[in-house]
Structure 1
Amino acid sequence: MPKHYVNKKVILLLDNVRYHHSKGVMELLDSIKNISLKYLPPYSSELNSIEHLWKDIRKNVTHNHLFESIDEIVQAIRKYFMTVQRSPAKVKRLCAYIL
């Protein structure tokens, strides 16, 4: 764990994918005393930030586009990430959940 989190309480949000409940993951996380686990409700993709990112990738990179090879897809997604990386406002918008 990075040093700047050692003396702070950390809340780790997890979805309910099966391996997040595995014995190995649970033992590792239980060994770190300042981490609390909070699980998102089942079937609540709207609360999971990564789902917003995947949706944006589909909308802006892969939707209605024919790629000739896997390399072309990788390049297109790499270009997307380079663009998004330069736009903190977009990252915040994609990762935020506002009621």
Structure 2
Amino acid sequence: MALRGRLAAARGAWLVFEDEAGFSMTPPHAKTWSQRGRTPLVRVRGRSRRRISIAALTCCKTGHRSRLIYRPRHDDGRRDGRKSFSWRGYRDLLIAAHQQLGGPIVLVWDNLNVHKAADLQKFAEARDWPTIYYLPPYAPDLNPVEGIWSLLRRGWLSNVAFSTPEHLVQRIRRGLRHIQYRSELIDGCLAETGLTIRPT
């Protein structure tokens, strides 16, 4: 991590971590308070196969406020439909991040097969602003985006009975916006990986 951090700083680039997670209509369980002897109940309207995938980027750079950039992908409900991002979805996310951050990026992500798709590699090689590194296999503790998912599931999504897929999307967006505006939460997720950004 220290080597990647020095490389990003040397190039004046943003150090960007990526991960994707799926969320369903079934709410995650979390501890809560209740009166003694009264078990709290969360009523769910039945199970649904509908889900939403979110690809998120945590972005850090010395002397700048940490950023969170994300894109949702809705499941169309068809059995044969794609439920996760394609290489084009990741390409579009990287282009949007480059435009928002206004500079080169050093991207660190896992070894998902779509991340290594030939078309995505050709896209990256044809441009001078992205540099891509891969995390070791089975190393979620090195990716700060995992901390973002944990904050979301333990906070805005826990013990909520989602009435519609739109209700689920609304709660996810509300939680991610809250995190976006509080860079100290992103910094905390970065610190959990052992990565620190020094102020200038």
Class of the TM-score when normalised by the shorter of the 2 chains: 0.7 to 0.9
Amino acid of the structure 1 residue aligned with 2:118: K
Larger radius of gyration: 2
Q: Please give the TM-score of this superposition, normalised by the length of structure 2.
A: 0.42
Give distance in 2, aligned partners of 1:35 and 1:88: 23
Q: 2:134 aligns with which of 36, 39, 44?
A: 39
Aligned to 2:194: 98
Residues 81 and 35 (structure 1), Cα distance of their counterparts in 2 relative to 1, 3 Å cut: closer
Structure-to-structure mapping, 1:46-65, within 5 angstroms = 46-65=141-160
Q: Cα distance, 1:42 vs. partner? A: 0.8
Q: State whether residues 106 and 130 of structure 2, in contact with CA within 8 Å, keep that contact through their aligned partners in structure 1.
A: yes
If asked which structure has higher relative contact order (CA below 8 Å, sep 6+), I would say 2
Identity between Structure 1 and Structure 2 (%): 24
Tell me the matched-pair count.
96
Give distance in 2, aligned partners of 1:73 and 1:12: 29
Structure 1 runs not aligned, ≥5 long: none
Q: Please give the TM-score of this superposition, normalised by the length of structure 1.
A: 0.76
Structure 2 runs not aligned, ≥5 long: 1-97, 196-200
Q: Cα distance, 1:78 vs. partner? A: 2.0
Q: State whether residues 152 and 176 of structure 2, in contact with CA within 8 Å, keep that contact through their aligned partners in structure 1.
A: no
Q: Cα distance, 1:49 vs. partner? A: 2.1
Question: What value does the CA root-mean-square deviation take over the aligned residues?
Answer: 2.4
The reply to whether residue 20 of structure 1 matches residue 115 of structure 2 is yes
